[in-house]
Structure 1
C-alpha cells in the first residue's frame, strides 16, 4: 500500500506558487583547468560573477537574493563555481585547498538554494572550526584542512513530490563524480577526501558512489540511499551513518518502488543506520535534523574525526 501511495504522490504532485525567474548572468567561463596555480583566478572570476548577479537581482527588485549574492561576492569568499540563475548553485572553499591534506565535501539536502545558502555555509564553517581546533590538527604542522560546501545541484523542496524520488539525485550524481574527479587534480596528491552527505544529499551520494574517488562517505540524517546495503553502493570508501535521537527522518518509511520504468525510484530503501545496511554507525547523540553540525555536539566531533581519518577515535552508536 505504501509504495502505491508514494507513487501517487508523483502523479498528483503538490502544487505551489512558482517564484518569478531571477535574472543573473551565465556562470563565469574558466579558460584554464583548475590547478593550485589557477585557484586564485577562479575565485576572482566567480566573485565578479556573483557581484553582477547581485546587481541584476537588485535591479529586479529581489533584495533578498541580491544580499545573498553580494555576501558570496565578498573578497573573503572562495568560490570554485557560482550560478545565480534560478534557485542558484555555488561551490565554496573554506581553508587552503591547494595545501589541504584532509578535505571534507558537504552535500546538502532539500530546500538548499542561494536564498538559504547562509544556513549551509554555517554548517561548513562550523566543521572547519572543529577541524582547525582539533588536537591532532593543532599539533601536526602542515596538516592543513579544507571544507567545501558543494551546492552543485538543484535540490528538491521538502514539501514536494520530487523529494520522494531519486530523480534529482540521478541528475546530480554525475556532477558530483565529476567534481570529485577534478578535485583530485587540484588538491595535493594523496589528500584524504571525505563526503558528508546530509538528508536528501545522502541519496545524491548513494547514486554517485560507484567510482567516486572518496576515502570516506558519511550519511547523516539520511532517509536512505536508493541502495539496499553499503556493499550495494559499490564504493571503495568507508561508509558511515548516523541519526540523532531528535531527527524526524527516523519516521520516514524505508521502502522503495520503481517509478513507471524510468529507472528512478520512489522511496529510498534500507535505513542506513540499520544493521541490515551495514554502514559504520556513529554517535550523533540527540541531534535533530538540522543539528549535525552544531558546535560542541557529538555528531560534529565525530564528523571531524572521520574527516581527519581518525577512524579509531570515532564514537560508535
Structure 2
C-alpha cells in the first residue's frame, strides 16, 4: 500500500519542525563545552591592586576559586573541578579569576611587589580554565605551566626576586577551528583588557619594567594592545620594554615599529611550527598581516630551535633560554638569527 500523500499544510509543518530541530541542534553545538556558564557566579568585588593589597587580593581570589570548585562538584563538571583543584595547591596566587563561560584567570609566579622585571605571558587559542595548567601532556604549553617553566629558567640566571611572571588569561581566547582566528576582532577586545591590566600592574609593581611574551593568537592580542593603546592605561604600557612574539600567525601590525616604538620587539619560530605555512595577508579585515619573523617586519629574530608550536617554553630548549633573557631585560643573553 503506498504511503499517504502529504498535503501542503502537512509539508509546511514538517519543514517547520525540522527547522526547529536544526536550530536547537545549532544552539547546543554553539554552547557545548562552554563550561556550564549559567551555574557559576560572577566574580565578587576585590581590592584594587597595590603592593599593600596583594595578599588580600590573593586571598579573595582563592575564596572565589573554592566557591567555583564547590559548584563544579555540584553540577558534575569533572574537567573544571580537576582544574580548579590544581589552582588551590599551596603557594599558588591569582590576581583575577572568573569561572563563567570558558573562564579567565591571572596567576602570579614570584614576588610581584619586589620584582624589578615582570613578564606577562599572553596565551593563544584554545586556552581555557581546563587547559590553564596542562594540555596534551605538555604543561609548558599552557599559561600556568609555561609561567613556572619560564620562572625556573630565569631563576637559574638571576636568583632572587628579580623576575615575577604573570600567566594572563584575561581575555576570551578563540577556538583554533573557528572563524575568530582568521581576524583580529576578538584580539581587539583582548587588547583593551591587556592595556587595562598593564595599567593596574603599574600600581602593583610600580618599580618594575615589563616584558610581554605573546604566543600564537596571543601575539595578535599584544599587537592590538600596541596598535590601539590610548588613554590613562598608556602609562602602564610605556613601561613595556620588550615584546616577544613566538609561534605567531601575525599581529595585525604592518611592522615591529607599529607595536612598540620604545620597546624592543622580538620574534621567533621553531623549525617544526605549523604557523610558517599561514598565509600572511590582510584583506578587508581578514588575515593577520605580515610574518613577524620576516625581514620586512623588522623584529629582532631570536633562535627558537627545532620545536613545534607548543614547545617554546619546554625545559632545556633554546627558545626557553632566549625568552628568559628577554623576560629579564638582558638582550645580550639572547641568541639572535643572523640575516644574510
Tell me the TM-score normalised to structure 2 length: 0.82
Cα distance between partner residues in 1 of 2:82 and 2:247: 30
Give me the whole-angstrom Cα distance separating, in 2, the residues matched to 1:24 and 1:236: 42
Alignment match, 1:245: 271
**What residue number does 1:29 align with?**
45
Matched, 1:90 2:119: no
Q: What is the DSSP-based 3-state SS (H/G/I as helix, E as strand, rest coil) of the residue aligned with 1:215?
A: strand
* Deviation readout 1:247-275 (Å, 9 max, x if unpaired): 000000001112xxxxxx21111000000
Q: Is the CA contact 2:120–2:212 (under 8 Å) kept in the aligned structure 1?
A: yes
Q: Which residue of 2 aligns with 1:18?
A: 31
Name 1:197's counterpart in structure 2.
214
Unaligned 5+ residue runs, structure 1? 1-12, 259-264
Pairing partner for 1:305 from 325, 328, 333 = 325
CA contact (8 A) 2:106 2:168 kept: yes
Q: Does 1:127 align with 2:135?
A: no
Matches within 5 A, 1:201-216: 201-209=218-226, 210=229, 211=234, 212-213=237-238, 214-216=240-242
> Secondary structure of 1:37's partner?
helix
Q: What's the offset of the Cα at 1:16?
A: 4.6
- Give the CA RMSD over aligned residues: 1.6
Which stretches of structure 1, 4 residues or longer, exceed 6 Å deviation after superposition?
A: none
> What is the correspondence of 1:228-239 to structure 2 with a 5 Å cutoff?
228-239=254-265
Q: Would the aligned equivalents of 1:28 and 1:82 in 2 still touch at CA under 8 Å?
A: no
Judge conservation of contact 1:153–1:172 (CA < 8 Å) in 2: yes
- Give the 3 Å change call, closer, same or farther, for CA 72–248 of structure 1 in structure 2: same
Secondary structure, aligned partner of 1:293: coil
Using structure 1 for the length normalisation, give the TM-score.
Answer: 0.88
Q: Is the 8 A contact 1:224 1:270 kept in 2?
A: yes
Structure with higher helix content: 2
The equivalent of 2:290 in structure 1 is 270
Q: Deviations over 1:137-173 (max 9, x none)?
A: 13xxx55211000000000000111111111101111
- The higher radius of gyration belongs to 2
Q: Show the 5 A alignment for 1:69-148.
A: 69-119=84-134, 120=142, 121-134=144-157, 137-138=158-159, 143-148=161-166
Q: Is the 8 A contact 1:192 1:308 kept in 2?
A: no
Q: 1:262 — aligned with what? A: none
